[in-house]
């Protein structure tokens, strides 16, 4: 028979040891206690994870003072997010790697509905959580993952150009001077560059078409010697298998600005869209493959994989692009393919491995589901740059403890909050709803 009190004591001790290790990088001893309190409150049950409800959960007899302490810690205290996340990574990744080596780096962004002209980064833009354009904040993240678990190791708010060029709103929200406008792929490439420099265990970068369509993003990954398997649009141009753009000798004295399609026409060569190429492939090129077990049945579809050269800025290059994989998904019964990916995995990589790699991106959906629903990632009510990132870092720290506590998640398991003792919240407690 399980001794639940002993189990709770052991879990609490793991939490204390974990928090103590993270608190070492906060800069001041006095920050350790609010750090512990905030993370504890995030792990407790409750619908709202903004500062005042958190204060009520951990100290219902003195909500006002606790709220002030937590608010100062998350909104004003100048501890470094990167230092905390780096320490989380150093403590958690060895636990994740006990299940299996890190094999992918997942690039993504997540939207959080938000109102108010002065809440940092809020703009009318696409919000994945709502599936439409809406007023929201969007953050770009990088996660390390294997087939069992994933951990965010970088997280940064995307600052729309309307914000980046508005000095009054920047100053009011405390946006650092060095933060200029960058596209989401540019932010992501910076995160990957830092991960490479830090010696994070390498993985194949997987990303959706918002990143995979960006030629500079893919070129940047190749320059870092980082392999990728990224989604692209159906209109992306490639050379047919075995074909390549005209060589310098074939171009002769033609002006570099002349369209490649006109030059290639003389040699009966032209690039085609990946959609067009998919329709040219024989039916035998598509084979049904299963990449993992779903909740109700195995996840299975038809795929083809061919080696192609990307038709991008051919005339600006002294040598053609190196061949890479084009992976195509064409489900049974569909009139046309539904998804496409480029990958720089080795030429010897089996098709089944290509499919499994690109499909590992599903883990980021689990990340965000747990971070938002279990830990309140999108529920910070403050307006500032520092507060936004501090709250996200604390959510990632709490999520890291769940990974340590549960030894890495199985794809079919949902994280369980730790069984900490929770003070009773007064029946008459009502959050004021003011911005933190």
Residue 216 in any domain: the answer is no
Cα dist from 41 to 8, 27, 357, 379, 417, whole Å: 16, 22, 36, 13, 11
By CB atoms closer than 10 A (0-12, 13-18, 19+), residue 82 is: middle
Q: 204 and 192 in contact (C-beta within 8 Å)?
A: no
- Indicate if 37 and 182 belong to the same structural domain: yes
Q: What band does 139 get if pLDDT is binned at 50, 70 and 90? A: very high
- Indicate if 237 and 122 belong to the same structural domain: no
Residue 414 in any domain: the answer is no
The domain boundary residue, chosen from 298, 316, 347? 347
Residue 223 in any domain: the answer is no
> Token pair for residue 35?
């750090």
- Indicate if 274 and 160 belong to the same structural domain: no
- Indicate if 202 and 233 belong to the same structural domain: no
Cα dist from 149 to 104, 184, 366, 415, whole Å: 11, 24, 9, 11
- Indicate if 178 and 117 belong to the same structural domain: yes
State residue 12's pLDDT score: 86
Predicted confidence (pLDDT) at residue 192 exceeds the cutoff of 50: yes
State residue 317's pLDDT score: 59
CA 368 to CA 351: how far, in whole Å? 29
- Indicate if 201 and 85 belong to the same structural domain: yes
State residue 315's pLDDT score: 55
State residue 398's pLDDT score: 95
Residue 325 in any domain: the answer is yes
Predicted confidence (pLDDT) at residue 248 exceeds the cutoff of 50: no
CA 372 to CA 367: how far, in whole Å? 8
> Which tens digit of pLDDT belongs to each residue from 346-380?
999 999 999 999 999 888 887 888 888 889 998 99
- Indicate if 263 and 307 belong to the same structural domain: yes
Q: What is the mean pLDDT of residues 268-273?
A: 84
Helical residues (DSSP H) of 78-155, grouped into ranges = 81-96
Exposure of 208 in the CB half-sphere (CA atoms within 13 A): 12
CA 217 to CA 212: how far, in whole Å? 7
- Indicate if 203 and 310 belong to the same structural domain: no
Q: Is 174 left (phi over 0), alpha (psi -120 to 50) or beta?
A: left
By CB atoms closer than 10 A (0-12, 13-18, 19+), residue 13 is: exposed
Residue 213 in any domain: the answer is no
State residue 431's pLDDT score: 34
Task: Give the domain extent around 340.
Answer: 229-347
Count of structural domains, the chain: 2
State residue 316's pLDDT score: 57
DSSP string over 67-96: HHHHHHHHHT----HHHHHHHHHHHHHHHH
- Indicate if 254 and 324 belong to the same structural domain: yes
> Token pair for residue 72?
């100062």
Residue 197 in any domain: the answer is yes
Residue, of 320 and 28, whose pLDDT is higher: 28
Residue 417 in any domain: the answer is no
State residue 47's pLDDT score: 80
> Token pair for residue 418?
């730790």
The domain boundary residue, chosen from 347, 373, 395? 347
The domain boundary residue, chosen from 318, 347, 376? 347
- Indicate if 247 and 315 belong to the same structural domain: yes
Residue, of 364 and 259, whose pLDDT is higher: 364
- Indicate if 65 and 189 belong to the same structural domain: yes
Cite the beta strand spans of 243-378 per DSSP E.
272-273, 287-293, 298-310, 324-329, 339-343
Q: What is the mean pLDDT of residues 386-409?
A: 89
State residue 318's pLDDT score: 56
> Which tens digit of pLDDT belongs to each residue from 299-348?
899 999 999 999 976 655 556 678 999 999 999 999 999 999 999 999 99
Cα angle value 166/170/171 (rounded, 5°):
120
Range with the lowest mean pLDDT among 197-211, 247-261, 388-402? 247-261
Q: What band does 148 get if pLDDT is binned at 50, 70 and 90? A: confident
Residue 422 in any domain: the answer is no
Residue, of 45 and 36, whose pLDDT is higher: 36
Among 97-101, 200-204, 256-260, 262-266, name the most confident range: 200-204
Predicted confidence (pLDDT) at residue 433 exceeds the cutoff of 60: no
- 380 Cβ partners below 8 Å, 6+ apart? 50, 51, 74, 387, 388, 391, 392, 436
> Which tens digit of pLDDT belongs to each residue from 415-432?
554 444 444 433 343 333
- Indicate if 42 and 122 belong to the same structural domain: yes
By CB atoms closer than 10 A (0-12, 13-18, 19+), residue 108 is: buried
Cα dist from 377 to 24, 129, 242, 296, 393, whole Å: 23, 12, 48, 29, 9
């Amino acid at each position: 028979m399980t001794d639940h009190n002993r189990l709770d004591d052991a879990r609490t001790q793991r939490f204390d040891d974990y928090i103590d290790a993270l608190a070492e990088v906060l800069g001041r001893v006095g920050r350790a206690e609010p750090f512990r309190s905030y993370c504890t409150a995030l792990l407790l049950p409750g619908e709202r994870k903004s500062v005042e409800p958190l204060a009520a959960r951990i100290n219902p007899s003195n909500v006002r003072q606790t709220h002030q302490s937590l608010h100062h810690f998350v909104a004003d205290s100048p501890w470094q997010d990167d230092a905390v996340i780096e320490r989380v990574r150093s403590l958690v990744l060895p636990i994740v790697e006990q299940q299996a080596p890190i094999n992918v780096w997942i690039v993504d962004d997540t939207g959080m509905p938000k109102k108010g002209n002065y809440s940092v980064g809020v703009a009318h833009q696409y919000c994945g959580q709502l599936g439409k354009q809406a007023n929201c904040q969007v953050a770009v993240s990088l996660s390390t993952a294997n087939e069992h678990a994933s951990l965010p190791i970088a997280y940064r708010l995307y600052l729309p150009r309307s914000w980046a060029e508005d000095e009054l709103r920047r100053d009011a929200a405390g946006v650092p001077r060095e933060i200029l406008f960058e596209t989401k792929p540019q932010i992501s490439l910076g995160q990957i560059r830092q991960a490479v420099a830090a010696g994070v265990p390498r993985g194949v970068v997987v990303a959706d078409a918002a990143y995979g369509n960006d030629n500079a993003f893919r070129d940047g990954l190749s320059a870092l010697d980082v392999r990728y398997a990224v989604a692209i649009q159906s209109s992306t141009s490639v050379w047919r298998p075995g074909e390549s753009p005209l060589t310098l000798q074939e171009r002769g004295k033609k002006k570099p600005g002349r369209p490649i399609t006109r030059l290639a026409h003389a040699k009966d060569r032209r690039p085609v869209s990946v959609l067009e190429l998919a329709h040219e492939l024989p039916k035998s090129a598509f084979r049904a493959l299963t990449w993992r077990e779903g909740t109700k049945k195995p996840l299975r579809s038809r795929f083809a994989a061919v080696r192609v050269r990307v038709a991008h800025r051919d005339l600006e290059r002294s040598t053609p692009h190196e061949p890479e994989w084009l992976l195509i998904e064409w489900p049974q019964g569909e009139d046309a393919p539904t998804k496409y990916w480029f990958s720089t995995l080795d030429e010897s990589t089996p098709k089944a491995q290509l499919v499994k790699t690109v499909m590992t991106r599903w883990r980021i959906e689990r990340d965000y589901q747990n971070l938002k629903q279990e830990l309140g990632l999108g529920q910070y009510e403050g307006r500032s740059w520092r507060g936004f990132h501090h709250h996200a870092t604390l959510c990632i720290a709490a999520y890291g403890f769940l990974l340590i506590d549960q030894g890495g998640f199985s794809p079919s398991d949902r994280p369980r909050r730790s069984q900490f003792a929770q003070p009773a919240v007064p029946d008459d407690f009502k959050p004021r709803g003011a911005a933190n």
